[in-house]
Amino acid sequence: MSTLITGGSGFIGLALAEQLLRSGHSVVLFDRQPAPSALLKALPEGAVQMVTGDIRDVALLKSVMAQHSIDQVVHAAAITPDLQRETRDASSVLGVNINGSVALVQACTEQPSVRRVLMLSSVAVYGFAPPPGPTYREDQAWPQPTGLYGISKLASEQIALRMAELHGLDLRVARLGPVFGPWEYATGVRDMLSPHTQTLEAALEQQDACLPHSLQADWIYSRDAADALARLLACTTLKHRLYNVGGEVQTDLPQWCAHLSERWPNWSAPLAQRPEDATVRYGLPGTRPALSTERLRQDTDWSPAHSLAEAATDYLHWRSQITAN
């Protein structure tokens, strides 16, 4: 099986590449720039190739798919802006997130070998309006995005699904919740690292952190997210076009920092007394309900493999391996 991952140099792209390589797939990573060599070397042994280019270049995408006999495509390429980028460069955000998705789907419709496309979307499409029930369910929660990222992701979902319907393309959408863990780094198109990685970086530098507030969410470990995405790619009996992918259990940043403190007892990450005292940036203004993963569980038999404590242990081990290399 040969898989093309757009945004392949990014956080989710590399996490999924790790999962697919371990399953014997060959993987082509497509991105605007190559991943850091240290991260590429850390991927499992297997057939992985890096191709650089613009996600809006239909001709290049078609050429890459034909050259590598691509069977399945994961579309993860996107700009995830903070407020400053939204304000200063809305056209680039919308151009890459929407026009890039159009180009990718168009290329897939013209490549007969492509049997499935998995388009990555985001919990951001739901905005912050409370769902009708305790969780955001795909068939009940009405999307109400507030920022350009969520708006562009929702538009891309709808455009891609319509194009796929017109061309008979098997395209599914995965709405990812907040992710943290291995393969996360500053890419230049994702303006804010997860607070889990920010606090870990501070601990590694022997600097205390200061949290704006506790920020509870259904954080999902990157290796669990990659497992879910790989299952959505592989399953031949999917019943739906849209799936939520979240961590299911609500955890907060003080809980995460407590696990880091087990490794560094003299390190601390208190809650800020004043907003200006915080050293960790959050992409969310506050607690948001969890994503329902009932569909995902039912159709793929997936469940998260890591508790927060297990994720901390695994993430620290991964960081030590990367540093050693």
Query: Would you list the domain boundaries of the chain?
Result: 2-183+220-248+291-305
Confidence at 46, pLDDT banded by 50, 70, 90: confident
> Does residue 325 have a pLDDT over 90?
no
With tokens 């509870």, the residue in question is: 216
Fold of 2-183+220-248+291-305: Rossmann fold (3.40.50)
Q: What is the model's pLDDT at position 274?
A: 93
Q: Is 314 helix (H, G, I), strand (E, B) or coil?
A: helix
Confidence at 71, pLDDT banded by 50, 70, 90: very high
CB 186 within 8 A of CB 301: no
- Give the CA radius of gyration of the chain: 19
Average pLDDT over residues 131-141: 96
Q: What is the model's pLDDT at position 98?
A: 98
Confidence at 284, pLDDT banded by 50, 70, 90: confident
pLDDT tens profile 185-244 = 999 988 899 999 999 999 999 999 999 999 999 999 999 999 999 999 999 999 999 999
**Which amino acid does the sequence have at 46?**
G
